[in-house]
Amino acid sequence: MKKPGAFENYKYKEELFPTITFRKSFDALIKWNSPLNANKEYLRILHLAATTMESEVEVALELLLENGTMFSSGHVKDLLGAKNHSIPKMKPQKVNLSSYDILLENKEIE
């Protein structure tokens, strides 16, 4: 995002398409936008896939592709519902290691 043209010239660019749906989405973005804007939008979609669930992003992309209208990373985010997956609060568990201590007591040291 910070270096214009970096995605376009990236040596391993093909590796940034996890599935055929992502590739089709990128091709659609190229068709509807300038290469620079299409690259930015696709990188935003990849970031969304990396920070949420890739499979959910893929389903959203499939729906948008079936619709056939122009879309952006914002549309994908809207379909995902911007779910916040918070980490639940947990209490530390108390561990009883006495059964392991018994094993160590009977061990001879050479």
Summarize pLDDT for 19-45 with one digit per residue, the tens: 999 999 999 999 999 988 998 999 999
Q: Is residue 73 within 8 Å of 37, Cβ to Cβ?
A: no
Q: Look at 36 and 7; give whichever has higher pLDDT.
A: 36
- Asked if the model's pLDDT at residue 9 lies above 70, the reply is no
Q: Look at 26 and 99; give whichever has higher pLDDT.
A: 26
Full-model pTM: 0.68
Q: Is residue 40 within 8 Å of 30, Cβ to Cβ?
A: no
Average pLDDT over residues 74-78: 92
List, as one string, the DSSP characters of 33-68.
S-HHHHHHHHHHHHHHHHHS-HHHHHHHHHHHHHHT
